[in-house]
Every structure is written in C-alpha cells, then in structure tokens.
Amino acid sequence: MYAVIVTGGKQYSVKVGDSIFVEKLGAEADTEVTFDRVLAVGEEGSVKVGAPVVEGATVTGKVIKNGKGKKLNILTYRPKKGSMVRKGHRQPYTKVEITAING
C-alpha cells in the first residue's frame, strides 16, 4: 500500500517503513505525527484519488530526528564593481519514518 501526502508545500509518495526528510515540523523526536492531507491511496490494482484530498485517509509516522541539511554557499559577484558577498544557509528538516497508512 502506498500514499501521496502533502506537507511543507511538497508532495511525497510513501509506503510503510519509508524514511523521508520533510520541512521542519513542530514535533520532538520519538513522537507520533499524523498527516491528514492525503492526495491518493493505492493498493495493488486499485487507486483512490481525492478531490483534492481522500476523505478519512491518514498517514501516521514517527519522528526520528530534527536537524539541519548540508551548508549551501551562496556567492554574489558583480564584475567591475569590487563587490562580492558570500552567504551560507542550512535548511532545517525533520526525518520521519512512516508507520501506518489508513485509507
């Protein structure tokens, strides 16, 4: 069984046992989190597609950890102006393991 969920403005196709990295959620490690915006639920041979979401479908996951991604170096350079700006950014994330799909 698989499902397509929406969280953090992105869509993820998940199965039970998958570990996904999503935009940071306000949940601590080792807590349960429920995704109720499920766009589609499918099994072998049948698919339920919502308009826009499947009614009554939920996906449950366990928060593994919160962290930050790899550092991105941003360099802005303006030729012939003597101007160069170097910035960095680390995007926060939450690692979630999918435990159940109810649909």
Q: Which of 101, 21, 34, 1 is nearest to 64 (CA)?
A: 21
Mean pLDDT of 65-82: 96
Per residue in 23-73, pLDDT (tens digit) is 999 999 999 999 999 999 998 889 999 999 999 999 999 999 999 999 999
Instruction: Decide if 86 contacts 74 (C-beta within 8 A).
Output: yes
Across the range 71-97, mean pLDDT stands at: 96
Within 57-103, strands assigned E span 58-68, 72-78, 83-89, 92-102
Per-residue buried b or exposed e for 20-40, using 16+ beta carbons within 10 Å of the residue's own CB: bebeebeeeeeeebebebbbb
* pTM for the model: 0.85
Contacts of residue 38, defined as CB under 8 A and 6 or more positions apart, other chains included, come to 3, 4, 5, 50, 53, 54, 57, 58, 59, 103
pLDDT of residue 103: 81
Residue type, 65: K
